[in-house]
């Protein structure tokens, strides 16, 4: 399949189940809501080393938030509900409770419950107050600046982690420009996050390593500097590869996000240095979700 001179390789992204939740963080200003959200989702690119994968989903206008203030929706994913229940209150406690004027609310209903105020109320040292507002249990925790308001708990969903596309370019600058265009389009798809820095990962990995204790290592088949030293997936004209990893609340969300990213790259075309779109997989042995590029673009 060739679209605007860009080859869509006959490959698929192999993804796996994750458990996730959405939180709505609000503040007196959009600036401080975003600061709290970005701080809370920091160091959360991969469950391999970070314990969770998290990112900003979208800005939420004041008219749509529980307290009528500017907000930001964030998504957090872990490999299982036990892991999610551990990381969520820790991150809120360290990064949202501490952030000026912030509040934190549930963004998903149903599924296994994940604690927010249920865990964080104890910071109030007995001065915290619980109230029921529109069938929601809300906690008010005294802090030096005023009050930290949060829901008692949030829900969870079984989502999808590890969706991805690989962008093969004729230079580092062109591959990066194409990846940035893809990220801009993919960020508009609700229900997904791109957990790596700026949505892009240059150090794509494979499962396993020659070194004991390493669960993942450099994906040498896509490293341009190793082209002549072993098996490669890169044609001679490719000098740089950028990967975009996708986590979503559903299989459809990840598929829609994948399509949006590929469409943005294809729009640039071969004239902008994009040679091909590929995807990372492990022969179907790692995860049950297979996002076939050509089917998505058909």
As beta bridge partners, residue 142 has 147
Would you state the pLDDT for residue 92? 98
CA 263 to mean position of chain CA atoms: 20
Cα gap 253→40, rounded to integer Å: 23
The predicted structure's pLDDT at residue 284: 84
Sign of CA pseudo-dihedral 270, 202, 17, 43: negative
- Which candidate, 74, 107, 108, places its Cα nearest to that of 91? 74
User: Could you tell me the residue ranges of all domains in the chain?
Assistant: 2-14+159-297, 19-157
- Residue for token digits 């194409």? 178
Tokens of 141: 């925790």
Matching fold, domains 2-14+159-297 and 19-157: yes
- Mean pLDDT across 248-269: 98
In the predicted model, is pLDDT for residue 215 greater than 90?
no
Domain 19-157 -> CATH class: alpha beta
167-202 confidence digits (pLDDT tens): 999 999 999 999 999 999 999 999 999 999 999 999
- Quote the pLDDT of residue 285: 81
Integer CA distances (angstroms), 275 to 47, 119, 234, 265, 271, in order? 31, 50, 10, 10, 9
Nearest-10 crossing angle of helices 81-95, 30-40: 130
Q: What global pTM score does this model have? A: 0.94
2-14+159-297 folds as Alpha-Beta Plaits (3.30.70)
* Tokens 């490959």 belong to residue: 11
Asked if 154 contacts 114 with a C-beta cutoff of 8 angstroms, the reply is yes
d(CA 168, CA 49): 26
Please state, in angstroms and rounded to a whole number, the distance separating the CA atoms of residues 19 and 228: 41
Please determine, for residue 11, whether its predicted confidence score (pLDDT) is greater than 90: yes
End-to-end Cα, the chain, rounded Å: 9
C-alpha to C-alpha distance for 264 and 181, rounded to whole angstroms: 6
Give tens-digit pLDDT for 93-143.
Answer: 999 999 999 999 999 999 999 999 999 999 999 999 999 988 889 999 999
- The two most distant CA atoms of the chain are separated, in Å, by 67
């Amino acid at each position: 399949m060739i679209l605007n001179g860009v080859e869509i390789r006959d490959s698929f992204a192999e993804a796996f189940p994750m458990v996730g939740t959405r939180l709505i963080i609000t503040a007196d200003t959009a600036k401080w809501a975003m600061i709290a959200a970005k701080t809370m989702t920091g160091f959360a690119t991969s469950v391999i080393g970070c314990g969770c994968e998290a990112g900003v989903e979208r800005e939420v206008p004041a008219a749509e938030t529980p307290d009528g203030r500017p907000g930001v929706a964030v998504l957090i994913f872990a490999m299982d509900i036990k892991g999610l229940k551990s990381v969520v209150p820790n991150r809120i406690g360290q990064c949202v409770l501490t952030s000026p004027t912030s509040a934190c609310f549930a963004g998903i209903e149903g599924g296994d419950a994940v604690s927010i105020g249920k865990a964080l109320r104890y910071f109030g040292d007995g001065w915290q107050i619980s109230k029921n507002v529109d069938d929601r249990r809300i906690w008010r925790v005294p802090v030096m600046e005023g009050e930290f308001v949060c829901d008692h708990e949030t829900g969870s969903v079984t989502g999808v982690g590890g969706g991805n596309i690989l962008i093969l370019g004729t230079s580092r600058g062109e591959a990066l420009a194409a990846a940035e265009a893809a990220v801009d389009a993919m960020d508009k798809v609700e229900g997904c996050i791109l957990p790596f820095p700026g949505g892009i990962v240059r150090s794509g990995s494979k499962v396993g390593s020659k070194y004991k204790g390493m669960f993942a290592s450099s994906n040498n088949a896509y490293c341009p500097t190793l082209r002549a030293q072993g098996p490669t997936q890169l044609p001679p004209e490719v000098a740089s590869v950028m990967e975009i990893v996708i986590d979503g609340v559903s299989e459809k969300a990840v598929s829609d996000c994948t399509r949006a990213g590929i469409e943005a790259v294809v729009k640039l075309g071969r004239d902008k240095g994009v040679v091909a779109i590929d995807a990372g997989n492990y022969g179907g042995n790692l995860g049950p979700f297979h996002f076939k590029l050509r089917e998505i673009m058909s």
